[in-house]
Amino acid sequence: MSQLERFNWKQTFARWVWVPFVIAVILLVDQTSKAWIERTVPLGGFYALFPALDPYFMLVHWGNTGTAFGLLRGLGGTLAMAALIIIVLVMIFSRQIPLDNWGVRLCLALILGGAIGNQIDRLRVGHVTDFLLFQAPVSNRMVQFPAFNVADSCITVGVILMAFLLLRSEGQRAAQQGSQAEG
């Protein structure tokens, strides 16, 4: 192996080494928070962590056998297999990312950390443990936002940030092509 190849490998490793660390932190926070909820709040129950915020924010212990927002309930096995395929595809896709694009790597770490966290739940207890519940008064009733967890939050933030980065990249590319056409 030449000196240049060795340097490129070290540079590549240095630019990716923090991604597994971010994933590990997400998994630690996600699984620890879910384990605490599972020990503290009975399945189907709720707990007002901050009584002053009740009923606007509560901790709940709900099992979600579906996807985000409770869609596709009861398809746990199918969703577990789909999640596994998505995790593998994201890992394969990640090899195509330019080394200097840390933002996309961060998005992938958030998405992978969340997907792996929820996959662990599906394999461990047969459902994803959701525990953060927000409600707001609308007209004369309380409207609930679907309960979610740390992994769901990481996936959502990762996808939104990825969309923003891709849109910004396309805008810059279009502006660059426009300026080249004028010149």
Just list the catalytic residues. Answer: 130, 152
CB atoms within 10 A of CB 147: 22
Name residue, tokens 């770490």. Answer: 109
Cα angle at 162 between 131 and 89, to 5 degrees?
85
DSSP 13-63: HHHHTHHHHHHHHHHHHHHHHHHHHHHHS-TT-EE-SSGGGTTTEEEEEEE
